[in-house]
Structure 1
């Protein structure tokens, strides 16, 4: 691996971490000595990369420094193509169009060889089940409203029917929307149950986005849910 490739890889590793990562961990992943790592960090800082931290504490990449898309590796291109195609097939219309547009923008700035790799990827998404009983009967408009409520931290009022057919009125604080192969599930704090609950979108009889916002932040709520579920947060 050339030093240029190593510097790019170091930037990518730092991008994956939202919190400081030790020099020892970075050097181990790159397969270089700590001394070489410190030189690489200094080189990137000299080129304008906003890397905070120091030896013995850890390093974190601050916002404001980006790499051009043409630096994507073959595996990264395959991941982008597969992920975008999944969203285009499985999400609501607006999100599907956004995925297609994003893929087109990325393709437009890639060099010819990488663009061919992106457009000719052999990783395909199979057709979804269109039956209403598959847990995906929510309308495009409902999914759009749910996503908007999550983004703006608005409370939702649902008329919800559980697996036994019993109906209830729920006021929830939505923090995530899970897209499964045959299910769409809202992760939310339920004011009625005073706890986190998961709501299948196909069981929603009616939905209202309120003007009220829930206390705290969506990120904090999602972190609390992850802890409760025993899900390890991304580094």
Structure 2
């Protein structure tokens, strides 16, 4: 186990205790010597962890403390790199750029050992062949965040066109296409729209009547999809 992983384990153990716990007990739970435990506590405190207490009295993690990014496990680092690389090749320009910026911010606060693993990750995302789109996905994502109605001109698989007012609340990214999940005022029901078949997108600036999360929960239930963890 690397030192970074050992420190993360110690933080997780401290999170489970609401009252001060002795150094000896923490050492037993984390499988290290008492001397190593005291060094690890000091290291975490030096890095900003809100651990209160001292040898002989016990230690407790102050409530509300947020685990810093530098405490990511190696596999979590790999998951982040792979996910960001996927986003960079499978989404619109602004979101792809944001993925690169986020990864750079994480790298800036990682200790040297983990930063090197991030930079040298061997997990690769293959080339993408997305179907071209006519609309601005960033604008669509903005409407979803703001819970605003949009008007679209849509052409279905058979070539028939229609104009709809929809309440977009989710956007699915697949290997080649993206799909908007929305409540359709025309059909008075949930509908799915491939973004490459949306010919025009007009932002109304009008907030729709229900909360986005409520629509998402209802749609998940109808699809038989378990709630997100």
Scaled by the length of structure 2, the TM-score of the pair is: 0.75
Shift in alpha-carbon separation, 1:215–1:170, aligned structure 2, 3 A? same
Specify every segment of 5 or more residues in structure 1 that has no aligned partner in the other structure, as ranges.
14-30, 33-42, 51-64, 131-135
1:95-142 CA distance string (max 9 Å, x none): 111000000000011011100111111101111115xxxxx3225x61
Instruction: Number of aligned residue pairs: give it.
Output: 188
The answer to whether the 8 A contact 2:14-2:60 is kept is no
Shift in alpha-carbon separation, 1:228–1:214, aligned structure 2, 3 A? same
1:4-61 CA distance string (max 9 Å, x none): 6445346899xxxxxxxxxxxxxxxxx99xxxxxxxxxx99942224xxxxxxxxxxx
SS of aligned partner of 1:186? strand
| Counterpart in the other structure of 1:155 | 149
Determine whether 1:231 maps to 2:225. yes
SS of aligned partner of 2:142? helix
1:214-233 CA distance string (max 9 Å, x none): 01211111111111111001
| Counterpart in the other structure of 2:87 | 87
SS of aligned partner of 2:176? coil
SS of aligned partner of 1:76? helix
Separation of aligned partners in 2, 1:11 and 1:166: 60
- What is the CA-CA distance between 1:3 and the residue it aligns to? 8.7
Scaled by the length of structure 1, the TM-score of the pair is: 0.73
The answer to whether the 8 A contact 1:137-1:201 is kept is no
| Counterpart in the other structure of 1:22 | none
Counterpart of 2:164 (choices 142, 162, 170) is 170
Shift in alpha-carbon separation, 1:202–1:191, aligned structure 2, 3 A? same
| Counterpart in the other structure of 1:125 | 125
Shift in alpha-carbon separation, 1:11–1:151, aligned structure 2, 3 A? farther
Determine whether 1:105 maps to 2:105. yes
Separation of aligned partners in 1, 2:15 and 2:204: 40
Q: CA RMSD in A?
A: 2.6
Counterpart of 2:192 (choices 195, 198, 211) is 198
- What is the CA-CA distance between 1:175 and the residue it aligns to? 0.4
Counterpart of 2:61 (choices 47, 52, 55) is 47
